[in-house]
Amino acid sequence: MKELRNDWALAEVEALFALPFNDLLFQAHTLHRKNFNPNQVQVSSLLNIKTGACPEDCSYCSQSSKYDTGLEREKLMEVDAVLKQAQEAKDKGATRFCMGAAWRNPTDKSLDKVIPMIQGVKAMGLETCVTLGMLTQEQAFTLKEAGLDYYNHNIDTSKENYSNVITTRSFQDRLNTLESVQNADIHVCSGGILGLGEGQTDRASMLRSLANLEKHPDSVPLNLLVPIPGTPFEAIEPPTESEFVRTIAVARLMMPKSVVRLSAGRTEMGEALQALCFFAGANSIFYGDQLLTTDNPDTNTDQILFERLGINQQLLNSH
């Protein structure tokens, strides 16, 4: 079987999801072991460089100006403050520093303010990543020139479920930005969120959209929704633990060389569930006690988890 495919049919993906749990995990782990060190995890750190007041209406997000979630709006951080946080993240073992701003799309003027942050983080020897909303092709080239390594732009859910979650932009808008990023030769970081009212077919469809991109995303973050009071999804039913692990395993089978990141929602996950996710093919996490606006396990908790599981952190430039 050809290892890297971009021509998945939905029925094939659904067939993977339908495998007995143990068979699916065995297949995913076997492939994972073939492409990666199974006991090594890449660690990224995430900083919110501009909080709140986003004009989008994503039903899960505390930063949307449409909902009252008690979040204080904050303007874009100063470069020095961002670089101080990047240095702290590096000291704690992060190899990639991600900066997120709650924008629908950055103006060229706002982009000019982010560029010195990217350059400063890169000068520290860290990989750089930003998530700033939708980009034009020109802006993607500008970010590439600034030395950006990764651009994060999640597709969130399936094309079919998308309008139930967000109405201020379309699924195609997401794909257009990913295309601009790939055209600029920046690594793509794109995944989704589980717990947006989707069914298993939606999860299959979401992974199919990612795996059928011209080139697989280098990084695939899979988030478990953290329901935020005040948002339309505050009381939504979460997926079961086995559904979450299945999604990680299917992502690994479809995108064998991509790094699959266990992202938001880890504070709700016990040691055994996280261990299963790593076995199923997850090999990256976000480090630090805050992810944009939701809680994350502190670095000490993660160190203990890694120690118990015999997992090593990937060192800088070792991939």
**pLDDT band at residue 68, thresholds of 50, 70 and 90?**
low
Report phi then psi at 247, rounded to 5: -65, -40
Contact predicate 264/225, CB 8 Å: yes
Q: How much is the mean pLDDT over the chain? A: 84
Q: pLDDT value at position 210?
A: 95
Q: Reduced to 3 states, what is the DSSP secondary structure of residue 139?
A: helix
Residue 316 lies in a domain: no
Residue 314 lies in a domain: no
Q: Which of 96, 169, 174, 189 is catalytic?
A: 189
Residue 4 lies in a domain: no
Q: What is the mean pLDDT of residues 163-175?
A: 83
Residue 123 lies in a domain: yes
Residue 184 lies in a domain: yes
Contact predicate 150/187, CB 8 Å: yes
Q: pLDDT value at position 291?
A: 47
Contact predicate 209/280, CB 8 Å: no
Lookup: tokens for 201: 């077919």
Residue 315 lies in a domain: no
Q: What is the mean pLDDT of residues 182-202?
A: 91
Single out the residue of 222, 230, 206, 225 nearest to residue 281, CA to CA: 222
Q: Which of 78-87, 127-136, 286-295 has the lowest mean pLDDT?
A: 286-295
Percent of the chain surpassing pLDDT 90:
40
Q: Which of 252, 261, 266, 277 is catalytic?
A: 261
Domain that holds residue 262: 10-309
Q: pLDDT value at position 178?
A: 93
Lookup: tokens for 57: 């209406």
CATH code for the domain of 133: 3.20.20.70
- To the query of whether residue 277 is one of the catalytic residues in this protein, the response is no
54 is in an annotated binding site: yes
277 is in an annotated binding site: no
Q: Which of 58, 169, 174, 208 is catalytic?
A: 58
Q: pLDDT value at position 319?
A: 37
Residue 2 lies in a domain: no
Residue 3 lies in a domain: no
Query: Tell me: the pLDDT tens digits for 114-132?
Result: 899 999 999 988 989 998 8
Kindly report each contact of residues 89-92 with a partner whose C-beta sits within 8 Å and lies 24 or more positions away, as own/partner.
Answer: 89/45, 89/47, 89/126, 89/287, 89/288, 90/124, 90/125, 90/126, 92/45, 92/287, 92/288, 92/299
Looking at the structure of the chain, the number of domains it has is: 1
Q: How many CB atoms lie within 10 A of CB 35?
A: 15
| C-alpha–C-alpha distance, residues 193 and 223, integer Å | 5
Which DSSP state fits 250? Answer: H
- DSSP 3-state percent helix, strand, coil across the chain (nearest 5): 40, 20, 40
Confidence check: pLDDT of 155 > 50: yes
Confidence check: pLDDT of 5 > 50: yes
Supply the pTM of this predicted model: 0.88
Lookup: tokens for 288: 């630090």
Confidence check: pLDDT of 141 > 90: yes
